[in-house]
């Protein structure tokens, strides 16, 4: 492998070097296409090993990821081997995009003024959901700019269609609506740069006005992730005021 893109630390957990080699080679090839360097790689097999690797960073949602990125002392990409190859490949490109764009811990410790997201005890969870949606939008946009949309098709198929929720009931509960809408923003923002506005506008499962809001808001995002999260949080709060009946 080329030394310019070599990985200084490759850690294997629950897997032999022989088994890990194809994945290491895939990551090396993908890292050249994504143009990212200076990250570490962990290859694991099984949820228990993943839990051990993540330690204090483990959450119940972690088990749903095929690969993931965390910003430790260095950007770190963790790859699971007990998932299908096409989803694994797509996830590797996606997480390398995070290593490229969001490789510092500050992107995972984002806060906003309380008045920007007045949701009481639910505010941290909603902010977390909004921030991962913003970062996924930035990664998908970056991969699209590099001509790598095709690498993300398995993840698009996995995320879509959106789950259909009882929106008329949710409209009567501000906190429930906030959590449900923020959760749906991730697949919407992830898909928008890959599918385009026309297809996203017609996605079933989400309120039409929310899809329009997401498309309009995405068009206002700039190059600063932290500012983007703040912009989305403020705009999301205003949308909630309109959405609740």
Check: CB of residue 50 under 8 Å from CB of residue 62: yes
Is 184 found in the same domain as 137? yes
> What percentage of residues in the chain have a pLDDT greater than 70?
97
Is 237 found in the same domain as 119? yes
Check: CB of residue 42 under 8 Å from CB of residue 78: yes
Residue carrying the six token digits 């959405």: 243
Mean pLDDT for 2-18 is 74
What pLDDT, on the 0 to 100 scale, is given for residue 12? 94
Is 79 found in the same domain as 149? no
φ, ψ of residue 47 in degrees (nearest 5): -65, -40
Is 232 found in the same domain as 119? yes
What pLDDT, on the 0 to 100 scale, is given for residue 71? 84
Give residue-wise pLDDT tens across range 190-223.
999 999 999 999 999 999 999 999 999 999 999 9
Is 116 found in the same domain as 99? no
Q: How far apart are CA 178 and CA 201, in angstroms?
A: 20
Q: How far apart are CA 26 and CA 92, in angstroms?
A: 9
What pLDDT, on the 0 to 100 scale, is given for residue 8? 59
> Using 50, 70 and 90 to split pLDDT, how confident is the model at 2?
very low
Is 22 found in the same domain as 91? yes
Is 185 found in the same domain as 99? no
Domain termination site, one of 81, 107, 133: 107
Q: Please tell me which residue, 60 or 67, carries the higher pLDDT value.
A: 67
Is 70 found in the same domain as 46? yes
Is 168 found in the same domain as 142? yes
Domain termination site, one of 107, 124, 139: 107
**Count of domains for the chain:** 2
Structural domain harbouring 152: 112-243
Is 133 found in the same domain as 232? yes
Domain termination site, one of 48, 81, 107: 107
DSSP 73: S
Residue 94: how many CA atoms within 13 Å on its side-chain side? Answer: 28
Is 117 found in the same domain as 20? no
Q: How far apart are CA 39 and CA 7, in angstroms?
A: 7
Is 72 found in the same domain as 185? no
The Cα-based distances of 202 to 130, 192, 208, 215 in angstroms read 21, 11, 8, 11
DSSP-derived secondary structure for 182-221:
HHHHHHHHHHHHHH-HHHHHT-TTS-HHHHHHHHHHHTT-
> Using 50, 70 and 90 to split pLDDT, how confident is the model at 4?
very low
Distance of CA 245 to the CA centre of its chain: 30
């Amino acid at each position: 492998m080329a030394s310019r893109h070599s990985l200084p630390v490759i850690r294997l957990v629950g897997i032999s070097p022989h088994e890990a080699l194809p994945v290491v080679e895939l990551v090396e090839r993908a890292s050249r296409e994504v143009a990212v360097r200076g990250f570490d790689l962990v290859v694991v097999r099984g949820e228990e090993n993943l839990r051990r690797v993540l330690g204090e960073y483990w959450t119940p949602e972690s088990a749903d990821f095929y690969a993931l990125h965390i910003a430790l002392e260095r950007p770190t990409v963790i790859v699971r081997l007990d998932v299908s190859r096409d989803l694994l490949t797509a996830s590797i490109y996606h997480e390398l995009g995070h290593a490229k764009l969001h490789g510092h811990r500050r992107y995972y410790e984002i806060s906003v003024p309380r008045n920007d997201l007045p949701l009481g005890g639910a505010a941290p969870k909603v902010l977390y959901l909004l921030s991962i949606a913003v970062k996924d939008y930035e990664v998908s946009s970056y991969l699209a700019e590099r001509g790598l949309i095709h690498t993300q098709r398995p993840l698009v198929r996995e995320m879509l269609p959106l789950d259909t929720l009882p929106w008329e009931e949710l409209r009567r509960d501000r906190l429930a609506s906030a959590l449900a809408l923020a959760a749906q923003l991730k697949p919407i923002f992830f898909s928008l740069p890959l599918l385009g506005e026309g297809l996203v506008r017609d996605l079933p499962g989400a309120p039409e006005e929310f899809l329009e809001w997401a498309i309009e808001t995405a068009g206002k995002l700039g190059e600063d992730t932290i500012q983007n999260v703040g912009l989305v949080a403020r705009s999301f709060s205003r949308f909630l005021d309109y959405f609740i009946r």
